[in-house]
Amino acid sequence: MKSDNDLSNRTADESLCSLLVGFNFLFFLGLLSALLILPLKSAFSSSGQADTHSEVSEAETQADAGASEPIESASAGKQAYQICATCHGSEGEGNAALNSPALAGQEPWYLKRQLQKFKDGIRGSHPEDIYGMQMRPMSMTLADEAAMDAVAEYIAGLPKKAPVATLGGDAAKGKGAYMLCQACHGANAEGNKMMNGPALQHLPDWYIVRQLKNYKAGIRGADPRDIEGMQMAPMSKTVPDEATMKDIAAYINSHAVSD
Ligand code: HEC
Ligand code: HEC
C-alpha cells in the first residue's frame, strides 16, 4: 500500500485499495487456502485493474516473509468461531443451559478430530444423541480442513477456566476410580496425545457424566469408523454407576486451573 506505484495509480486503484484494506483478512485467507485464492484472484482480475498483480505479489511476499501469516490465520479462526460462540461462549467457556461444553483448554488435535467426526457423521448421528445432533450441523459451517485448523488453533488460544461444580461429586472417592483412566488421559487429566486421550480437566462435570453415559449406552463410540471412540467405550463400562461418574468428574475437575 505504500509503494510509489500505488500513489501514481491512486485514482484508478482507489476502490481496489479500499477493498483490499477492508477485506485484508479475507485476502490473506485466500493466500493460505488454495480453494479460496482462485476465486479471489479471478474476482480481482475481472475488475480489469492492471496493477492487481503487483498488489497480489507484494502481499504474497509479505506472507512468505511470515510476518503477518499467524495473525491473519488467527483472524480467520476468530471469524469462524463467531457462530460457535453463540453456544460455547465468547471465550469457549461453555454454556450449561445450552448443553454446550467448554472448549477452552482443549488441544487443537482433539478439537479438529471431533469436528471431522461430527462432519462425517461418526459422532452426533445416533438418533438418541440429542446434543451431538445439535452440534453436527454446526461442524458443517467449517468448509474444509483449513477452516477446522484455524478454528481449532483459535480455541486453543482461549483462556482456560476451572469449571464450576454442579453435581456434587466427591473428588476423594473419584480418585480411586480415576486410576484406570490416567493411562490415556494423564495423571492430572491433562490429556495424552500418544494415547489419543483428550484433556478432561476443564470439561464441566455434567458433560463428563453425559459422555460416560453415552459411551456406555453405545450412543457415542459405537460407529466402527470411530477408532478412538471404540477405545474409550469399553473403559466407560468399568464405571459402575452414575454416582461414581460424578465422583470421577469431581476428581478430574480438582486438577483444573484457570489461566
Ligand atoms: C447450537 C449450539 C452449538 C453451536 C453453534 C456450536 N456447538 Fe459445538 N457443541 C454443541 C453441543 C450441544 C455439544 C455437545 C455434544 C455432546 O454432548 O456430545 C457440542 C460439542 C462440541 C465439540 C466436542 C467437544 C468435546 O469435548 O468433545 C466441539 C469440538 C465443538 N462442539 C466445537 C464447535 C465449533 C468449533 C463450533 C463452531 C463452528 C461449534 N461447536 C458450534 C453445541 C453447539
Ligand atoms: C485406553 C485408553 C483410555 C482409557 C483407559 C480411558 N479413556 Fe477416555 N477416552 C479415550 C479416547 C481415545 C477418547 C477420545 C475419543 C475420541 O477421540 O472420539 C476418550 C474420551 C473420553 C471422554 C470424552 C471427552 C470429550 O471431550 O468429549 C471422557 C469424558 C472420557 N474419555 C473419560 C474417561 C474416564 C472417566 C476414564 C476412566 C474410567 C477413561 N476415559 C479411560 C481413551 C481412554
Over the stretch 200-246, which tens digit does the pLDDT of each residue have?
Answer: 999 999 999 999 999 999 999 999 999 999 999 999 999 999 999 99
d(CA 167, CA 31): 48
The minimum-distance atom of ligand 2 relative to the CA of 110 is 17
pLDDT score of 72: 63
d(CA 151, CA 112): 9
pLDDT score of 145: 95
pLDDT score of 123: 98
pLDDT score of 143: 94
Residue nearest to atom 21 of ligand 2 (CA): 232
Q: What is the mean pLDDT of residues 182-204?
A: 98
Residue 10 has pLDDT above 90, yes or no: no
Ligand 2 contact, 208 CB (< 6 A): yes
pLDDT score of 71: 59
- Closest to 103 (Cα-Cα) out of 151, 31, 54: 151
Residue owning grid cell 459405537:
222
Residue 35 has pLDDT above 60, yes or no: no
Local confidence band at 69 (pLDDT 50, 70, 90 cut-offs): low
Residue 41 has pLDDT above 70, yes or no: no
pLDDT score of 3: 44
Ligand 2 contact, 184 CB (< 6 A): yes
pLDDT score of 245: 98
pLDDT 10s digits, 174-187 = 999 999 999 999 99
pLDDT 10s digits, 84-104 = 999 999 999 999 999 999 999
Torsion of CA 119, 124, 130, 133, to 10 degrees: 10
d(CA 68, CA 110): 26
- Closest-approaching ligand to the CA atom of 110: 2
14-to-6, 10, 38, 72 alpha-carbon distances in Å: 9, 5, 23, 23
Among positive and negative, which fits the CA dihedral 160, 166, 167, 168? positive
Q: 78 CA distance to ligand 1 centroid (A)?
A: 16
pLDDT score of 186: 98
Residue nearest to atom 38 of ligand 2 (CA): 181
pLDDT 10s digits, 129-154 = 999 999 999 999 999 999 999 999 99
Q: 214 CA distance to ligand 2 centroid (A)?
A: 12
> Considering the chain, what is the average pLDDT of its residues?
81
Q: 233 CA distance to ligand 1 centroid (A)?
A: 20
pLDDT score of 4: 44
Q: 195 CA distance to ligand 2 centroid (A)?
A: 10
pLDDT greater at residue 234 or residue 57: 234
